[in-house]
Homo-oligomer: A and B are copies of this chain.
Amino acid sequence: MPAAVKKFIEAFSNLPSIGPRQATRLAYHLVALPRAEMIEIAKSLVELAKTKRCKKCFFLHDNLGEQCYFCEDASRDKDIIMIIERETDLMTIEKTGEYRGVYFIIGEMKKSGVLDPDKKIRLNILKEKITQELGGVAREIILAIAPTAYGDFNANLLRMELEPLTRKITRLGRGIPTGGEIEFADEVTLICAMKNRG
């Protein structure tokens, strides 16, 4: 196999959800593309590397300043903060068009969760932001943390840490997802769904 193909496969096999098999197919597909098209794809990666993180909420942006689109937008409620794990979660929430507050990306809640040094740093930045910009009390903090075992555990830690800094702290409601079958719902979901009925 040509060295360049090998190197590409190695580089891409390490990315999440791309195995060596898909990376190999990808390599041979890319090689068959017109050269200009491939250079475009490589460029899109280089451009991606230039993306910045918002100093306030850690979302990505390519604005001239240091803030992202949401933190810059004067029409959004700065005292309602939704804490999310991933950028993709933010995009899904934003698509609903129903949320007018700002976001704060804490990172994925895996094993170590909030105890992770990176997340501790971010949490301190959030606390400082609430102190400096909101006089120490947010109107609401919404914990949009996945309702998994790790998520629940870490959401509780976050609640303890942030309760003194907000009037209200909530989590996203649990229940049967639209299109979901009641027959196949687990017990915990059903209990939540009954509580949240309306």
Contact = CB atoms under 8 A, between A and B. Distances in A.
A188 interface: no
Mostly, the A contact residues are: helix
Interface stretch (A6-14, A71-79, A163-171): A6-14
A122 B60 CA distance: 47
A160 interface: no
Copies in the complex: 2
A17 B8 contact: no
Interface in A21-48: 22, 24-31, 35, 38-48
Interface of A: 1-5, 7-8, 10-12, 15-18, 22, 24-31, 35, 38-51, 60-62, 86-88, 91
B42 A7 contact: no
Given A16-B25, A29-B16, A42 B45 contact: yes
A44 B8 contact: yes
Contact of A48 (B15, B38, B43, B62): B38
A1 B31 contact: no
Contact of A27 (B12, B28, B48): B48
B50 A4 contact: yes
A4 B88 contact: no
B11 A41 contact: yes
Given A4-B44, A46-B39, A60-B5, A88 B16 contact: no
Contact of A25 (B12, B17, B46, B48): B17
B88 A8 contact: no
Contacts of A11: 40-41, 44
